[in-house]
């Protein structure tokens, strides 16, 4: 849950890097919330549908941000998200990128595996500028 909350707190951070754990835990909790709200939608009707819509809307920008940071961690530009517009092929390419290990030392910052928390990461980034 901590990884999910960390991704949600970094909702406006499209720079830097995100570990695989942060990305996949975010995806897991997002899918669980969608599943629960979809079930509630079938049980209680329109109120559940509204909850389902709210869950999706709340997670649009944080989802994009954590996906961009995950792409940065695997050594790719965030612009690779646009390949998702290509049916099937785009999804497969992004899935491969999301599953790749961290690239040590790239232009998007230090390897997040070597930093204990985002607070430490901000200090490292401040020292780099």
10 Å Cβ neighbour count for 121? 17
Comparing CA positions, the residue from 12, 13, 19 lying closest to residue 117 is 19
* Digit-coded pLDDT (tens) for 44-96: 888 888 888 999 999 999 999 999 999 999 999 999 999 999 999 999 999 99
Please tell me the predicted confidence (pLDDT) of residue 117: 52
Q: Residue 27: pLDDT above 90?
A: yes
What average pLDDT score do residues 97-122 get?
A: 76
Q: Residue 11: pLDDT above 80?
A: yes
Residue 124: pLDDT band (50, 70, 90) is very low
All residues at 6 or more sequence positions from 34 whose CB lies less than 8 Å from its CB, including other chains: 52, 55, 56
CB 112 within 8 A of CB 126: no
Residue 107: pLDDT band (50, 70, 90) is confident
CB 105 within 8 A of CB 96: no
């Amino acid at each position: 849950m901590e990884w999910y909350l960390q991704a949600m707190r970094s909702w406006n951070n499209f720079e830097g890097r995100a570990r695989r754990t942060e990305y996949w835990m975010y995806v897991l909790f997002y899918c669980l919330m969608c599943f629960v709200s979809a079930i509630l939608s079938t049980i209680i009707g329109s109120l559940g549908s509204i909850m389902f819509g709210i869950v999706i809307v709340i997670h649009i920008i944080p989802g994009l941000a954590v996906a961009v940071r995950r792409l940065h961690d695997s050594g790719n530009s965030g612009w690779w998200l646009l390949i998702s517009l290509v049916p099937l092929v785009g999804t497969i390419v992004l899935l491969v990128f999301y599953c790749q290990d961290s690239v040590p030392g790239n232009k998007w910052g230090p390897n997040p595996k070597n930093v204990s928390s985002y607070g430490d990461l901000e200090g490292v980034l401040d020292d780099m500028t």
